[in-house]
Every structure is written in structure tokens, then in C-alpha cells.
Amino acid sequence: MRIQLIKPVALTVFMLGMTGCAPTVRSVDAPVTMAKKGQGVYHTVQRGQTLWRIAQNYQVSIDEIIRINKIPDAARLEEGQLLFIPGVSEVKAVPAKKTDPDKKEFAWPVKGQVVHYFNQHKQGLSHKGIAIKVPPGEPVKASREGRVVFADYLCGYTYTLILDHLDGFHSVYSLNSKMLVKVGDYVFKGDQIALAGSQGRETLLYFEIRKKGQANNPLYYLPR
């Protein structure tokens, strides 16, 4: 499989104008009309549920749920939020955490504040991941288990790791000060793979989730 690498950009792009909280979506207009026609159901988001898990459980495209509910790129799901699920006839129970042995759920690679969001435009550039502010030297952990397919220095991104999750998904971890794994290593969710690096006055981890080479919003896959 050919791996699409993120394109180098100046680090200042990640460090300017990156404050504020992610908005939430609690009401939509278009889905109401569709619901009256019996073309879907409303799902009430429970604590710990992710958009990824909801889409998987209903067997509906995550992109379709995003589109029909008009979910913005910086939005996170909130407990009690209503999502319209098109093309299904009954509400299903969605587990907050999947317990199957495949462990396909994504986890946060670090604990910190999201200061730069997916598709946020800065200086004419649109970024395809999120930047998380953390303390210097913070351990970076594998979001899911997989194999290290890239571990090297990228201009503008410093030390970068890419994990292949062997099911069409890749995760990207950039702006590290030190890498703790090498190409070919197999890691499990929660394993330490790098240390966050200091970039000027801030320490940031830049994180991407890619599906079949296309960048997806990480916030749609990560638990609240």
C-alpha cells in the first residue's frame, strides 16, 4: 500500500491563533424533514460514544452522518446530543467501548488541549490533522495497535511516525523530540512510541488519522 505523507509546512502555522474550545452540535434543520418521512432515526449520544463507533454500529457511512447532520470540523459529540441516522428503521444500542479482540477503537495519543483543528485555515494552508498542546517530553502513545511504517525526520514536522493499522487506516504523529520505535516494529494501543518536542514556546503533538490515504477528522474517531 502506498502511504501518503503529510506535506511539510512552517511550524509557526501550528502555533498561531490556536485557542478556544471545540463547538458542539445540538440541533439541525434538514434531518427533521427526513425523519418525518421515515427515512431514518434519531440516536441520542451516550457518554463515551464516538462518531466512528455510532457509524459502525448502524452500518452507515461516517461521511453521510457528518453531511446530513451538518457537523463542523471542530465539533465533538456531547452526551445527550441528537444525531439523525439515515436509512435505518430502529434505534440501536451503541456500546461506549468495543470489547472485541480486534481493538479497532482509536484512543487519544496524549492528554492535552486541542489548539488546532482539522481543516482549519491558517496563512492560506488547510491542515489535515489536529494539534494538541502538551508538556515538554510528554509520552506519545499509539492510538491503535499497528506496525510502524515511517519513522524519520520531516522538514517542518520534525520527527514523525506513521502507524499502519492494517485495515486501511493510518495514524500520523509529528513534532516529536524523540522516537522510541523504529520502522517494522509492531506496537499495541497505549504503547509509548515517542516523546513530544518543544516548538518555540509551546509543545505540540500533530496528529492525523487517514483512511485509505485520505485524511479524516481525528475528533470523529477519538472518545470525548
pLDDT digits (tens, 9 = 90+) for 101-149: 447 889 999 999 998 899 886 655 567 899 999 998 899 999 999 999 9
pLDDT at site 21: 41
pTM of the model: 0.65
Biggest CA–CA distance in the chain, Å, is 55
The grid coordinates of residue 113 equal 488541549
The grid coordinates of residue 121 equal 485555515
The grid coordinates of residue 130 equal 489536529
Rounded Cα distance between 152 and 79, Å, is 39
What's the burial of 73, exposed, middle or buried (CB within 10 Å: 0-12/13-18/19+)? middle
Query: Counting every residue, how long is the chain?
Result: 224
Q: pLDDT tens for residues 156-200?
A: 889 999 999 999 999 999 999 999 999 999 999 999 999 998 767
pLDDT at site 125: 52
Query: Considering only CA atoms, which of 111, 31, 37, 123 is closest in space to residue 71?
Result: 31
